[in-house]
């Protein structure tokens, strides 16, 4: 399957992704210089983006991890979001940056922003590598966006289908026929 998925169309290759990450890191460094932001990785999908992003950021920062419930094994959202692992550090008074892999319906990011806001951070922002603008079912805020993409299901570079394909360095469009979800 891992090699077969490479017959699918590449949406963004590794060079395009890494170039965009350098631009995003520069932007964050300008905005968060001397603020010691807490970079909050949303597990599991954001992990590749997260490590590449923080490696490019030439400022002091802290990292933490939050896990929220995902889609299960389907391409469609269950619509229900839960915290499976809360962050460890104290967020009160901190500059918190949520690092997301992809925003689809917007439900996860909205839920997370509201949940974190209760800890009274000094500021709260979100960065997402990918945003599917046409898939939004709620309005949400995302201050930093890597790529605005069409409403397709994508895998690779952290993004999975049924937990697979996260370790591909490029991002592919997954045809529903390929996995038998038509």
Q: Which residues are catalytic?
A: 104
45 touching Mg ion, by CB under 5 A = yes
50 touching ligand IMP, by CB under 6 A = no
105 touching ligand IMP, by CB under 6 A = yes
DSSP per-residue letters across 133-158? GGG-SS----SEEEEE--S--EEBTT
Q: Which does 40 bind (CB under 5 to 8 A by kind): Mg ion, ligand IMP, none?
A: none
Residue 95 or residue 101: which is nearer to Mg ion going by CB? 101
Stretch that binds ligand IMP, among 21-29, 31-39, 70-78, 119-127 (CB under 6 A): 70-78
Q: How many residues bind ligand IMP (CB under 6 A)?
A: 19
Supply the minimum distance, in Å, between the C-beta of residue 98 and ligand IMP. Answer: 11
Stretch that binds Mg ion, among 27-35, 39-47, 139-147, 163-171 (CB under 5 A): 39-47
Q: Which does 104 bind (CB under 5 to 8 A by kind): ligand IMP, Mg ion, none?
A: ligand IMP
Among 154, 168, 171, 179, binds ligand IMP (CB under 6 A): 154
């Amino acid at each position: 399957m891992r090699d077969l998925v490479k017959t699918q169309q590449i949406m963004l290759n590794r060079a395009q992704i890494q170039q965009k990450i350098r631009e995003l890191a520069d932007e964050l460094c300008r905005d968060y210089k001397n603020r010691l932001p807490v970079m909050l990785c949303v597990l599991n999908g954001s992990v590749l983006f997260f490590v590449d992003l923080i490696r490019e950021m030439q400022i002091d920062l802290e990292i933490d991890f939050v896990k929220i419930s995902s889609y299960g094994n389907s391409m469609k959202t269950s619509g229900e979001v839960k915290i499976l692992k809360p962050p460890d550090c104290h967020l009160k008074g901190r500059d918190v940056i949520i690092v997301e892999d992809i925003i689809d319906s917007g439900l996860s990011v909205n839920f997370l922003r509201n949940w974190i806001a209760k800890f009274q951070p000094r500021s709260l922002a979100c960065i997402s590598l990918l945003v599917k603008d046409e898939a939004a079912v709620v309005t949400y805020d995302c201050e930093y966006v890597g790529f605005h993409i069409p409403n397709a299901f994508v895998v690779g570079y952290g993004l999975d289908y049924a937990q697979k394909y996260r370790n591909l360095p490029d991002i592919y469009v997954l045809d529903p026929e390929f996995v038998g979800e038509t």
